[in-house]
Amino acid sequence: MPWTRPDNVPYPNVWWTFDAPDPDREDGALATYRVEDLTEDRIEDAVKLYTEHFLDDEPLCSYGRVRHNAVSYEEVVKFWMHVFSEKMTIVCYKEGSKELVGANLLAVKCVNDKTDITGLIKSESMQKLVAVNEYMTDTVNLFERYGVDKYLTAYGLSVNNRYRGRGIATEILKARRPICRAFGLRLSSTNFTAIGSQIPAAKIGFQTDLEMMYDEFVKVNPTYTFEGIKSKSIKLMSLQIE
Ligand SMILES: CC(C)(COP(=O)(O)OP(=O)(O)OC[C@H]1O[C@@H](n2cnc3c(N)ncnc32)[C@H](O)[C@@H]1OP(=O)(O)O)[C@@H](O)C(=O)NCCC(=O)NCCS
């Protein structure tokens, strides 16, 4: 049985609030932001956020030109919809505004999960993206290393371009602790593909399990080439929850 969100955890729930600079204020004044569960009525906007503020910037999607290839774009949107349906995706709003400031696609991975999505993915760029992500998690057996039977994972952290550079990704990542506690999870692990997410993750206590330079992947498989990718390495990083 795949993991499902238990009914005893309120939904939608606000997981984290924080103050950070407001891009609409020239005097550098702070605004209050909140991180909460994505709700059904904002799914279309979440797809828009990931399309416009993730696909051309996240190193692997940008390298694979996922937004610009009809097949890979359709596959990635289908994948997001599947992740949204698990009701673990979180979004960030500025108080008093409905604009999506950022989001993180979250999911719970269990040791007995048998879901194999490789058969559903036909485009070369998406196959490569899935393959390197799987290489990372297959190489480090997180279940054994941390002695857990499930953990909170993530499939994409996005901050709206006009809000970047204000510590918002760092704050969104801080929501992992209260989320894990609410669901009784002792571990959160993620493949961080960009320096702009690896730095925030390290700041809040994620430790690196495995780092692979993008140009090292050809040694794993000669087709895993990433010449000219806009990032140095991918890091599988973990946060243990006391
Ligand atoms: C990565 C992303 C989520 C960061 O959001 P953000 O709100 O700007 O992040 P923060 O402000 O919390 O922190 C970013 C940190 O990375 C640093 N950083 C960002 N780009 C960098 C670069 N190219 N080189 C060195 N440091 C960089 C910033 O200086 C900052 O560190 P600092 O606070 O010590 O100065 C955002 O840029 C984004 O949505 N990118 C596109 C999608 C993506 O790549 N997601 C991550 C994939 S796992």
202 Cβ inside 6 Å of ligand 1: no
Query: Please, how many CA atoms are within 13 Å of residue 156, restricted to the half-sphere of its CB?
Result: 32
- The residue contributing the CA closest to ligand 1 atom 43 is 58
Question: How does pLDDT run across 53-73, given as a tens digit for each residue?
Answer: 999 999 999 999 999 999 999
In CATH, the number for domain 14-240 is 3.40.630.30
Helix ranges (H only) for 86-175 are 124-139, 142-146, 168-174
Angle, CA 119 vertex, CA 118 and CA 120 arms, to 5°: 90
Q: For position 2, what pLDDT does the model report?
A: 83
Q: Quote the ligand 1 centre to 36 CA distance (angstroms).
A: 21
Q: For position 118, what pLDDT does the model report?
A: 73
Q: For position 41, what pLDDT does the model report?
A: 98
196 Cβ inside 6 Å of ligand 1: yes
Phi, psi of 182 (to 5 degrees): -65, -35
165 Cβ inside 6 Å of ligand 1: yes
Q: Quote the ligand 1 centre to 169 CA distance (angstroms).
A: 7
Tokens encoding 193: 């593909």
| Weakly modelled stretches of the chain, pLDDT under 70 | none
Return the residue matching tokens 């049985």.
1
Q: Quote the ligand 1 centre to 68 CA distance (angstroms).
A: 23
61 Cβ inside 6 Å of ligand 1: no
Phi, psi of 166 (to 5 degrees): -120, 10
